[in-house]
Structure 1
Amino acid sequence: MFGEWRAKINILRICEVDYELLHSIIKKSNIPITKLAECCGISRYAFYKKINGEGEFKITEYIRLCETLGIDIMDTITKEGNVN
């Protein structure tokens, strides 16, 4: 599952998520938040905190989220930061 992402993981460790873009993509997807949280393996509460920038996604959670949304993970990265 994560084979195609291996080359991107080192880049993700020093990047920051564009949360405005992420919110837009989630809204357009029409996938329920509960389903997205489930796909990430976290609670709905934790998911809301993370998409609002109040917590950080683990790399595996973020990969699962992007796969569920059908987007390339690098499309949501803006600048250097700290994504664990």
Structure 2
Amino acid sequence: MRPRNLDEFAGQKHLVGKGRPLRKLIETGNIPSMIFWGPPGSGKTSLAFVIAKLVDADFIAKSAVAAGIKDVREIVQR
């Protein structure tokens, strides 16, 4: 089950805990472009889903390993 908010997100409390840098950006709506890097299962996609939900943004998950330029263009066209 994926976390629904930052309080339910496990790990990375130094970034998403109360008063921490990434959480502050999200709460103010001042979200920069980000690249999440880490091993499978580390929470990258879950965190992206939570952020997208909090800022009411569309989110389309794609694997950088499997996706190509055609996939990116199709997403941008939506």
TM norm structure 2: 0.31
Higher strand share: 1
Larger radius of gyration: 2
Which structure has the highest helix share of the two? Answer: 1
Instruction: With a CA cutoff of 8 Å and minimum separation of 6, indicate the structure with the bigger relative contact order.
Output: 1
What TM-score does the superposition give when structure 1 sets the normalisation length?
Answer: 0.30
